[in-house]
């Protein structure tokens, strides 16, 4: 008598989750210890900025002339500045402004630059020519000098510094996504979408844009680090944050006269800038390795 073979699978058979490009990218990113270290630094400073009012040991604006230019101690871990204000508290509060300006500048640059770049790459012809020449004109000026000129025209203010830094980064994102759109629009699925009568807006938002954003994400991460340095440079020159607001660049400007007498007033804000920029650069390199197919090969 023949026995019918069992069709049941073993009970311990595991079903793997379907793979996706973003899940694969995260797995690749998570394996990169240096990238995870950069992400940890960025998350740390973001949390410091978010919870600054609750973790500052002192009021960052309250002077204490009796304790001016005191070195690091148990009472003031990072010392005090020329007005006796706690440096640790000012660094913690300065993280809010520095990170907010960095993210806001990059968000504005991505919005304007990607819009112009997508239109230029998709439609081509005279539209591409005009937009590309605008990018070339902006790139012809040294970025920091152009930012200084814009702030000088608009007036020294943190908001105007934000606008200036956003403007000088627009052509970087515009040219990046334009080159990507030029290759994406030649793909067969774009031709198929046009053949069935899909309008340009739907093709742009549902097909071209999602398949062109990978390099923009990587560049955006690296651009935040650059924006933080640029806003610190403008504040150092007196064109950024104005009292009573404070960012790390203004702290450097206020302490430049005391570099020999009280070096901690400049060292610790400089370290904060260095660590934040390092974190974004490490994270950006990890994203590039995870999202770029060429790097995976």
Asked whether the CA dihedral 289, 292, 293, 294 is positive or negative, the reply is: negative
Helix (H, G, I), strand (E, B) or coil at 106: helix
Q: Is residue 215 part of a domain?
A: yes
Residue 86's φ and ψ, nearest 5 degrees, are -70, 125
Looking at residue 269, its pLDDT comes to 94
Domain membership flag for residue 72 = no
Which three-class secondary structure state does DSSP give residue 207? Answer: helix
Centre a 10 Å sphere on the Cβ of residue 5 and count the other Cβ atoms it contains: 5
Cα–Cα dist 59/79, whole Å: 14
Q: Is residue 130 left, alpha or beta, with left meaning phi > 0 and alpha meaning psi from -120 to 50?
A: alpha
Whether 12 shows a pLDDT value over 70: the answer reads no
Instruction: Catalogue the E-assigned strands of the chain.
Output: none
Q: Does residue 2 belong to any structural domain of this protein?
A: no
265 located within any domain = yes
| pLDDT per residue as tens digits for the range 104-127 | 999 999 999 999 999 998 888 899
Q: Which of 179, 164, 167, 284 lies closest to 224 in space, CA to CA?
A: 284
> Does residue 282 lie in a domain region?
yes
End-to-end C-alpha distance for the chain, whole angstroms: 56
Question: pLDDT band at residue 52, thresholds of 50, 70 and 90?
Answer: very high
Structural domain including 159 reads 25-59+79-296
User: Model confidence at 14, in pLDDT bands (50, 70, 90)?
Assistant: very low
pTM of the model: 0.85
| Cα→Cα distances 129→32, 124, 218, Å | 41, 7, 26
Task: Tell me whether residue 64 is in a domain.
Answer: no
Lowest average pLDDT, out of 39-43, 48-52, 190-194, 275-279, goes to 190-194
66 within some domain = no
Q: How far apart are CA 290 and CA 31, in angstroms?
A: 10
- Mean pLDDT (the chain, rounded): 86
Is residue 13 in a domain?
A: no
Rg (CA), the chain: 25
Burial class of residue 4 in the structure, from the number of CB atoms within 10 Å of its CB (0-12 exposed, 13-18 middle, 19+ buried): exposed
Instruction: State the CATH number of the domain containing residue 230.
Output: 1.10.3720.10
Structural domain count, the chain: 1
Q: What pLDDT shows up at residue 37?
A: 95
């Amino acid at each position: 008598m023949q026995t019918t073979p069992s069709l049941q699978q073993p009970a311990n058979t595991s079903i793997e989750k379907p793979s996706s490009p973003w899940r694969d990218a995260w797995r690749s990113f998570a394996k990169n210890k240096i990238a995870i270290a950069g992400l940890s630094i960025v998350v740390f400073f973001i949390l410091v900025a978010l919870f600054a009012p609750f973790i500052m040991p002192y009021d960052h604006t309250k002077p204490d002339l009796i304790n001016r230019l005191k070195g690091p101690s148990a009472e003031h871990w990072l010392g005090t500045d020329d007005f006796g204000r706690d440096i640790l508290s000012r660094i913690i509060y300065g993280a809010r402004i520095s990170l907010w300006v960095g993210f806001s500048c990059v968000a504005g640059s991505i919005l304007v630059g990607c819009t112009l770049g997508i239109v230029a790459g998709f439609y081509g012809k005279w539209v591409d020519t005009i937009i590309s020449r605008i990018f070339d004109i902006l790139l012809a000026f040294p970025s920091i000098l152009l930012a200084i000129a814009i702030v000088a025209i608009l007036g020294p203010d943190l908001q105007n510094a934000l606008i200036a830094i956003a403007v000088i980064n627009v052509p970087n994102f515009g040219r990046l996504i334009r080159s990507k759109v030029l290759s994406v629009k030649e793909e067969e699925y774009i031709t198929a979408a046009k053949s069935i009568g899909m309008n340009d807006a739907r093709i742009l938002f549902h097909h071209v844009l999602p398949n062109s954003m990978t390099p923009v994400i990587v560049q955006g991460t690296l651009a935040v680090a650059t924006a933080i340095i640029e806003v610190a440079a403008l504040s150092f020159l007196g064109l950024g944050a104005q009292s009573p607001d404070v960012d790390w660049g203004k702290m450097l400007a206020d302490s430049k006269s005391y570099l020999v007498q009280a070096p901690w007033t400049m060292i610790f804000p400089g370290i904060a800038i260095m660590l934040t920029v390092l974190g974004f650069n490490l994270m950006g390199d990890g994203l590039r390795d995870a999202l770029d197919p060429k790097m995976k090969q």
